[in-house]
Amino acid sequence: MGYQFNWSLVLTGEYRDWLLDGFVLTLKISGIAGICALALGTLVAVMRLSRVKPLEWLSLAFTEFFRNTPLLVQIFFWYFGSEAFLPKAVNQWLYKQDFEFAAGTIALTVYSSAFIAEELRSGIFSIPKNQLEASRATGLNFFQAYRFVILPQAFRIVIPPLISQMLNLLKNSSLVMTIGVMELTYQARQVESFTFHGFEAFTVATMLYLAVSLAVSFSITMYNKHFLHQLRY
């Protein structure tokens, strides 16, 4: 007997609500991790360019380690190994929260921040060096010069690749299902387990991911057109 499609299972009723709840949680964990990754990545990029050798070495080790190890391994590391790595007080606080959500957020944050740091560093390199020297000559210290002069320009340059990194983070968030975070992919798997209609469940999940991805891609295209128009005039 051939496969019998039943789209009403995932488009109405309880199973639809499961998928929508998972989608909301996907957006939530991606949003929190994205904001934290942007802040951490900015800090790492500035440390890398600070000319203070210990900070340079630390930031280099950070980016190379987290960019060159699989995200899934890092998720398992934070989930199973955080008790040995993090201070006791931090672990106790995490266990009082949604520990799976917290571990997944930390893993996504650290992993994505390493890529963001490199994107931002490339943007900083594209800014003429004399701007930093001029900023220092006006009395600003190193970090003030970066905060008020260099970083605002660098962020404007690297907005498209930063948005792409956020899109990658959204897609990578599907991996946190492996530690029990009930995001979209997890919920699609649950629907499949209860109904044996995996095609419908994962089609809906795919369409939701695709809708967000296309919206982000459209935003990047519009920004690039606007940015190039400003440069032209």
Domains and CATH numbers, the chain: 8-232 (1.10.3720.10)
Q: Rounded to the nearest 5°, which phi and psi values hold at 228? A: -65, -35
DSSP letter, residue 7: T
* Tokens coding 215: 């919206």
* Tokens coding 62: 């950070």
Cα(76)–Cα(60) distance, rounded to whole angstroms?
A: 23
Q: pLDDT of 184-231, one tens digit each?
A: 999 999 999 999 899 999 999 999 999 998 988 888 777 777 765 565
* Tokens coding 191: 């629907």
Q: Mean pLDDT over residues 49-77, rounded?
A: 93
pLDDT of residue 3: 78
* Tokens coding 10: 């995932």
Share above pLDDT 90 across residues of the chain, in percent, rounded to a whole number: 55
Rg (CA), the chain: 21
Say how many residues make up the chain: 233
Cα(107)–Cα(70) distance, rounded to whole angstroms?
A: 11
Per the CB < 8 A criterion, the answer to whether 186 and 25 are in contact is no
Per the prediction, the chain carries an average pLDDT of 88
pLDDT of residue 101: 93
* Tokens coding 53: 């050798």
Cα(177)–Cα(185) distance, rounded to whole angstroms?
A: 7
With the CA atoms of 90, 95, 97 and 99 taken in that order, what torsion angle do they form, in degrees rounded to the nearest 10?
100
- pLDDT over 60 at 1, yes or no: no
Cα(126)–Cα(40) distance, rounded to whole angstroms?
A: 21
